[in-house]
Amino acid sequence: MKITAFTQLITVLAVTAWVFLLPVSAVATILVLELALLLYIKHDRLTMAAIGALTVFTGMMILLQLLFGSPLKVSLAGGLRMFVMTTAFLCLLAATKIQDIAQALVEKFHLPCEYAFMLTTALRFVPDFLTDSATTLDAQSCRGYSNRGNIFKRLYAYLAVVKPLVMRAVAKSDTLALSMELKGFGANTYQNMCPQKLGVADYMVLLIVIVLSAYPLWSKYL
């Protein structure tokens, strides 16, 4: 069953709205479904690490709310909502290629092509920048910057790498922009790609989404 990026985007947006409309029990159910879906699509180390990081972050958010005097129930509900929303995006990224997401954004949501292309570009260059930053960290080390010490010291070392990386990014983006100009990037780019047609599965999912989104209406009558 294949659904297009458009449908997936609509679903994710709907889920984001649902966390505020539906009662907590429903939101918790959604979370369980999402995690199951995510692990079904991709259960590699990276995905587990991402879920783990999100859990930690949610925990910190809940603690922060408690510290600021919110009652426990509210804090937990807030944390749950955030977790569900972000997991929805994780599912989207795991299930679809970013190029398809970009295409859907341009075709159906009428995002200007330059912004949509930023998504692909980011993904394209992140691995390169990570490798480059490794070299810069090594260079720092070879000049006498000690990596020993606690995690804060090491995080601080990463900060010092940001400036050279940003400079490099600016220089690279110059060549990249030139390259895209040479290749004729523009409104045509997305128009000429094979359009993503909505299939039966898409319509089914969209229908379910619409029905569920109308919950506030039909909950009154039940």
Shortest separation between residue 39's beta carbon and another protein, angstroms: 23
Shortest separation between residue 72's beta carbon and another protein, angstroms: 44
Shortest separation between residue 185's beta carbon and another protein, angstroms: 6
Cβ nearer to another protein, comparing 49 with 130: 130
Residues 6 or more apart in contact with residue 116 via CB below 8 angstroms = 102, 103, 105, 106, 190
Cβ nearer to another protein, comparing 77 with 93: 93
Distance CA 191, CA 112 (A): 12
Shortest separation between residue 187's beta carbon and another protein, angstroms: 10
Distance CA 191, CA 57 (A): 39
**Rounded to a whole number, what is the largest CA-CA distance in the chain?**
72
Cβ nearer to another protein, comparing 78 with 164: 164
Q: Footprint of another protein on this chain (CB under 8 A)? A: 97-99, 120-121, 123-124, 127-128, 132, 135-136, 138-148, 160, 163-164, 167-168, 171-173, 175-176, 178-186, 188-189, 192-194
How far apart are the two ends of the chain, measured CA to CA in Å? 32
Q: Show the 3-state SS of 21-70.
A: HCCHHHHHHHHHHHHHHHHHHCCCHHHHHHHHHHHHHHHHHHHHHHHCCC
Shortest separation between residue 137's beta carbon and another protein, angstroms: 10
Distance CA 50, CA 61 (A): 16
User: Is the CB of residue 38 less than 8 Å from the CB of residue 94?
Assistant: yes
Output phi, psi for 138, to 5 deg.
-60, -40
Cβ nearer to another protein, comparing 194 with 217: 194
Cβ nearer to another protein, comparing 72 with 118: 118
Cβ nearer to another protein, comparing 144 with 216: 144
Shortest separation between residue 202's beta carbon and another protein, angstroms: 21
